[in-house]
Each structure stands twice: as C-alpha cells, then as structure tokens.
A and B are shown apart, each in its own frame.
Chain A
C-alpha cells in the first residue's frame, strides 16, 4: 500500500512537468516564421475548419529510432502551420499518428484504418521502404496521396500516381556527390571497390560508374567483395598500386569500416568516396581518425547553412531536447509540403491535393529548393559531406554557399 501511495505521489509530481512541456511547445511557434513565407498560392478560402491527414511511422520496436523523431518533426511542423494560419484563418490541420512498428502487416492495417475509417485527405509515411511497398497500394487504390519521407528504395513511386516521396533515393544522391567531389578535389583517376552480391551495393556501383563516366573520370580498376568479407587488403592493394586520386566504395556500414581502416593501414591517405552505407556516425566512431577524408552524399546535413535548416534545428531542439537527424528533417519538410499542397488545392478532395502536390516546384525547405519530378520523386541538391575532425562537415562549404544564393 505504501508503495502505491509513493507511486501516486511520483505521478502527481510528474504531471506539472508534462503540462510544462506542452506549454513550451506553443511558445516555440514565434521562432518559426520562415517556412510559411512561401506564398505562391493565395490563402485558401474553401477549406473546412479541420483538415485531417494521417501519418504512419514506426513509433515502437527497433525502427523507432527513426519513427519517433519523424513523428516529433511532423508534430512540430503542424504546430507551426496552425500557428501561422497557413491554411487560412480558423482552419486547423490535424494529424492522426499510427504506429507501423517496422512491420508490413501493421503498416497495411494502419493505412487501411487511416484511409477507410478516418477518411484522411493525405498520408505521410510509412517509415520503411518495405512497409511502403506493402501499404501504399491501399492509398493508391483509394485515391489518397501518400508521401514517403524516408523511403529510398527504387520503385517506390512506381506504385502509382498517388505515391510520392521527398527522400532522395541513392540514385540521386550519388551523382551529386561524385560531381561535387570531382569539382572540389579535381579527381581524374579513381579505383572502384564494390560488393557484388547485394542489391544495394550493386545498384550503388552502377550509379557510381555512370556518374564517373559522365564526368570523364578514368576508372583505373574495379574490385569486388562479398557480403561478410572481412579482409579487403588484396583488393585494396591492387587498386592502390595504380595510385588513384580517390577510392570509390559501394559497401554497407560494417564493411565500410573495415575498408576504410585497411586502406589506411596500406598507407593510403586520399579521399574515399562512399555510397549511403557510409552515411552513418558509426563510421566515424569506429574508424576514428582513419575516417578523415571520407566523402559521402546525403539529403541533408546539420552543418548546412540553409537558413530554413538552421531555424528548423533550433526549433526541433527546443521542442524535443534532441538535435534532428536527416529523417526528422525530411519528415518536417514532408508535412510542410503536404500542407502546401492542401493550401494550393484549396480543397479537401484527395485528387485535388495530389495534383497540387505534384506541381510543387522550388519550394524553399530545410532540404534546399525542393521540387517533385514527373515521377513524383524529389529533386533537390544533395549535400556532399566530408569527415573533418571526427564529424561530417560539408565539402567545399564556400562553393555550396554561392550556389544557394
């Protein structure tokens, strides 16, 4: 009994803290002004008092490391949207969050509920590409626009004209990365190392080679490895014997660490350009100073000097207490894109919203100037990151600045 009373007291104590948090949320809104400044479309007049969208994120399970920041970022965006009257006076955007838990079945159930029971006008998510492949056809069939904010697998938007994504697929990140690196470092001759028994690393390799050929960069040699390999010294010795300007590596994170370390052990200290597998803080944590000079593209980097991005980081940190990652930034941008589509459509008919979404171009966002291409895939400049002093910085930061102005 005593324990129960104690527990009750603790709960009582915790209550004001929770309430406090909620107060904080509303105070933050003054900070953000910039996102709503984009006023291509006039303030809508025909919207009902409440517009409801759905959001499916993996909020539990081991994928929740992505799903929870995604949810928080959407909450933040919606708070900002409502605060600024983006959808017109007296119109509230509300979000129904559903948990997919990284599971395909659960994603299907969530999508069915949102589309059929809740009759939402649009959906954000789901978190994983595999979930999207399972759940998005339901939205497509019902004619409800769905936007993935973290799906990077190829073929996502092939599911139909109602399926969008704002997360750059690898095939868009790599060419920009290679172009940025070639320009900044003047690369002429490179060696290529890739895993030849994995879809992800193979497709990365194809895109790398195409990008290199487009830029007339000479490929001195190509070497392969298999998943689970741990010793890359033979391949690296071969590649390094030709004295390349850079190593191009398409590998997953575990192998990437070994490759970086073993290349350095063999005395190579030049740049190593990697695919998305390299875009992980674990690379820096594990490879230590050997990771210096590793170059990898990404949709977003916290070091970006984009004003919207800087403002978002500040607001997100205030809102959640944690710095945002790329997934949070993409989810935040996704919510704003969806709101913009609703605003421009001036309608809650999902088909109108779809058309408005598809015609968004040059939308200023934390990801940069954002557009959808004709396949509803995102178009914006990737960030070319380079590891400097144990952290991802931006390669040739001065150059990027000129571009964005």
Chain B
C-alpha cells in the first residue's frame, strides 16, 4: 500500500470512528448512570434520523434547525423510555436484567411504529435524505480534497461534533453540580436519595442528554449515508456496544476510544485485503479484551466505578 492510500484509509477510519463515537457516547452515558444497558438507544438513534428526514423533506426546515429539532425530539423519545420502560421497573425493585429486557421491548415497539410511519409517508420501507445538504451555509457541499486525500465535508462535520460532544459531556459529568449528582446516583442510588438528590430527575436528565446525542448522531448518519429505514439502528447498535465494551463500560473517553479502535480495525482489515473477515476481526478483539481486561481499556473495576 502506498502512502497516499494509507492516508486515505486513515481518513476513512477517523471519519467512520467519529460516527460510531457519537452513537456510543449516549449509550455509554446511560450505562454509567443506570448500570443498565439501554438497548433501545439504537431505536432512539433511528428516530433521530427519521425526525431529521421529516424536518428536511416534509417540512423543508433549514438543515441547522432540522438538526436541532431531530436532536430534541429524539431526546424526548429517550425520556419517554425512562418513564415507560425503566422507571416502573425500578420502582418495583426489579432486577437489572428485567430493565434490559424491557428496553428490548421498547426498541421493538419504536421500530414498529417507525415502520408504520415510513409506510404512511413514503409508501416504502426506506427513504432517502436529500443530497448535499449543508448543515451551515459556510460548510462546503463538494468533496474536500487535501493533497490527494478526499473527504466528504459531512464526515468532517461529524468528526468535529463528536469531539466537541465528548469534551462537553466530560465537562458536564466531572465539573458541574448536576454531573456530581449524576455520579452520586451512579455510585449508589439510595445514598444519593438520602443526600436529597432528586434521583428521578437525574435519570430524566441523563436520558434526555443521551437521547439528544443519539438524535444528533441519527441525523448526521442520514446526511452522510442518505438511505434511512426503521432498521438503521441495527447497523450501529452492535458496533456501538462493542465500542463501549472495548473502551470501558461507563467511561466517556472510553466510548470514543473504543469507537475509533473498532472503526480503525474494520478499515485496517479491509485495507489489508480481508474485507470478508472485517467483522470477525473486530469481534475477536472484543473477545480477547473481555478475557484479559473485562472492564475494558479505560474502564475502572466494578466496585469503584462512579
């Protein structure tokens, strides 16, 4: 492989990793606070893509407004998950596995509703984002060529947004009062309640943030890959899960790191001529990490996670 191809493949890896990261951030956030995997997160992501499509394609909103709408609406879907799928179970002190399963049910429901709507609106099981939308007027719509490396502008946008989101989220969790409360709830729900923290409010806030991230990721995904359907969540859910397990469950930088590792591995295995073994290589690494370092690369051991 010559140097130019190497550079191009690296660019491909970084831009793919950024997209995974955006999805994995919210996934990881809910897990770190609840201690439960929210398997409906991919459905929220899918709804983000759908809301963005409706806003652009049916209501003809300007892209930046559509983006904000998609993000907020997905945030609300995520909050409704907390009310419908998680809180009733928590109240009854149900086991964590019950919450996990209830989130699977919620995901199925969300996907099915989306299917109905796609059929209603588009009379098809999938739909396409318009081509070459500029999120903001100053962002070019044509491919950016640096030297002999090409990158679609939307991929650059995704990279920037993913990195900014990571920093903001990191700041939110470590340096704000709400973040402190979130960590307290994560450490021990009952103790936090005794310290007069409104636990339910923290949960709602967490789901809102996670949902907004997923919605933003969904719309950016739609803008990058155009084709969206009720099943786009499936494309990223397993990869996102792999990324957060690899990077360290509940660690924000870990989710981002894991995403870039997964994307890098996928691209590297393809580049090395093994596009048929791409996913096998990724999941083999996951397997190895789980055996050697179960808490993930940046994860802390179970007892001290906060």
A238 to B152, CA, bound (A): 17
A317 to B76, CA, bound (A): 50
Instruction: Decide yes or no whether A158 CB sits under 8 A from chain B.
Output: no
Instruction: Decide yes or no whether B131 CB sits under 8 A from chain A.
Output: yes
Interface pair A286/B8, CB less than 8 Å apart: no
| Contact among B1, B128, B225, B270 with A223 in the assembled complex (CB-CB below 8 Å) | B270
Instruction: Decide yes or no whether B200 CB sits under 8 A from chain A.
Output: no
Tell me how many residues of B have a C-beta within 8 Å of chain A. Answer: 36
Residue-by-residue, is B1-31 near A (CB-CB < 8 Å gives 1, otherwise 0)? 1101100110011011000000000000000
Output the least CB separation between B53 and chain A (Å).
13
A288 to B226, CA, bound (A): 12
Instruction: Decide yes or no whether B57 CB sits under 8 A from chain A.
Output: no
Interface pair B227/A286, CB less than 8 Å apart: yes
Interface pair A254/B227, CB less than 8 Å apart: yes
A223 to B235, CA, bound (A): 20
| Contact among A223, A225, A267 with B143 in the assembled complex (CB-CB below 8 Å) | A267
List the one stretch of A229-237, A294-302, A360-368 in contact with chain B.
A229-237
Interface pair B131/A265, CB less than 8 Å apart: no
Output the least CB separation between A195 and chain B (Å).
11
Interface pair B150/A230, CB less than 8 Å apart: no
Output the least CB separation between B158 and chain A (Å).
12
List the one stretch of B58-66, B67-75, B273-281 in contact with chain A.
B273-281
Q: Name the B residues within 8 Å of A225 (CB-CB).
A: 275
Output the least CB separation between B72 and chain A (Å).
25
Q: Which of B227, B267, B279 has the most CB of A within 10 A?
A: B227
Interface pair A258/B1, CB less than 8 Å apart: no
Q: Name the A residues within 8 Å of B273 (CB-CB).
A: 238
Instruction: Decide yes or no whether B301 CB sits under 8 A from chain A.
Output: no
A285 to B131, CA, bound (A): 9
Q: Name the B residues within 8 Å of A233 (CB-CB).
A: 12, 15-16, 267
A282 to B37, CA, bound (A): 38
Interface pair A265/B152, CB less than 8 Å apart: yes
Chain A residues 212 to 247 lying within 8 A of chain B, measured CB to CB, are 223-226, 228-231, 233-235, 237-238, 241
Q: Name the B residues within 8 Å of A282 (CB-CB).
A: 128
Instruction: Decide yes or no whether B271 CB sits under 8 A from chain A.
Output: yes
Q: Name the A residues within 8 Å of B221 (CB-CB).
A: 230
Q: Name the B residues within 8 Å of A286 (CB-CB).
A: 128, 131, 226-227
Tell me how many residues of A have a C-beta within 8 Å of chain B. Answer: 29
Instruction: Decide yes or no whether B140 CB sits under 8 A from chain A.
Output: no
Q: Which residue of A lies closest to B274 (CB)?
A: A224
A-B contact count (CB 8 A): 81
Q: Which of A224, A265, A288 has the most CB of B within 10 A?
A: A265
A231 to B279, CA, bound (A): 13
Q: Which residue of A lies closest to B145 (CB)?
A: A267
Q: With A234-B266, A264-B143 known to touch, is A224 a contact of B275 (CB < 8 Å)?
A: yes
Q: With A267-B145, A286-B226 known to touch, is A234 a contact of B1 (CB < 8 Å)?
A: no
A189 to B151, CA, bound (A): 25
Output the least CB separation between A397 and chain B (Å).
28
Q: Name the A residues within 8 Å of B266 (CB-CB).
A: 234
Q: Name the A residues within 8 Å of B2 (CB-CB).
A: 241
Chain A residues 249 to 285 lying within 8 A of chain B, measured CB to CB, are 254, 257-258, 261-262, 264-267, 282, 285
Instruction: Decide yes or no whether B105 CB sits under 8 A from chain A.
Output: no
Output the least CB separation between B84 and chain A (Å).
28
Q: Which of B5, B150, B231 has the most CB of A within 10 A?
A: B150
| Contact among B5, B132, B227, B279 with A238 in the assembled complex (CB-CB below 8 Å) | B5
A83 to B151, CA, bound (A): 61
Interface pair B270/A235, CB less than 8 Å apart: yes
Chain B residues 255 to 287 lying within 8 A of chain A, measured CB to CB, are 266-267, 270-271, 273, 275-276, 279
| SS of A interface (majority) | helix
Interface pair A241/B5, CB less than 8 Å apart: yes
Instruction: Decide yes or no whether A196 CB sits under 8 A from chain B.
Output: yes
A282 to B5, CA, bound (A): 31
Q: Name the A residues within 8 Å of B267 (CB-CB).
A: 233-234
Interface pair A237/B227, CB less than 8 Å apart: no
A258 to B229, CA, bound (A): 14
A201 to B151, CA, bound (A): 28
| Contact among B12, B126, B152, B229 with A237 in the assembled complex (CB-CB below 8 Å) | B12
Interface pair B5/A230, CB less than 8 Å apart: no
Output the least CB separation between B164 and chain A (Å).
22
Q: Name the B residues within 8 Å of A285 (CB-CB).
A: 128
A231 to B148, CA, bound (A): 20
Q: Name the A residues within 8 Å of B88 (CB-CB).
A: none
Q: With A223-B270, A233-B16, A235-B270 known to touch, is A258 a contact of B275 (CB < 8 Å)?
A: no
Q: Name the B residues within 8 Å of A262 (CB-CB).
A: 152
Q: Which of A228, A257, A261, A287 has the most CB of B within 10 A?
A: A261
Output the least CB separation between A229 and chain B (Å).
8
Output the least CB separation between A278 and chain B (Å).
14
A223 to B9, CA, bound (A): 14
Q: Which residue of A lies closest to B273 (CB)?
A: A238
Interface pair B150/A261, CB less than 8 Å apart: no
Output the least CB separation between A34 and chain B (Å).
37
Chain A residues 85 to 118 lying within 8 A of chain B, measured CB to CB, are none
Output the least CB separation between A8 and chain B (Å).
32
Q: Which residue of B lies closest to A62 (CB)?
A: B123
Interface pair A230/B8, CB less than 8 Å apart: no
Q: Name the A residues within 8 Å of B279 (CB-CB).
A: 226
Q: Name the A residues within 8 Å of B227 (CB-CB).
A: 230, 254, 257-258, 286
A107 to B195, CA, bound (A): 69
Q: Which of A233, A261, A267, A282 has the most CB of B within 10 A?
A: A233
- Point out residues on A near B: beta carbons under 8 Å: 196, 223-226, 228-231, 233-235, 237-238, 241, 254, 257-258, 261-262, 264-267, 282, 285-288
Q: Which 9 A-B pairs have the closest CB atoms?
A: A234-B270, A233-B12, A241-B5, A234-B267, A230-B225, A265-B152, A224-B275, A267-B150, A286-B128
- 11 A-B pairs (CB sep. < 8 Å): A228-B235, A230-B227, A230-B235, A231-B12, A234-B12, A234-B13, A238-B271, A241-B8, A258-B225, A265-B150, A287-B131
- Point out residues on B near A: beta carbons under 8 Å: 1-2, 4-5, 8-9, 12-13, 15-16, 126, 128, 131-132, 143, 145, 148, 150-152, 221, 225-227, 229, 231, 234-235, 266-267, 270-271, 273, 275-276, 279
With A238-B273, A254-B126, A261-B226 already in contact, 5 other A-B pairs whose C-beta atoms are closer than 8 Å: A231-B225, A233-B12, A234-B267, A237-B9, A265-B151
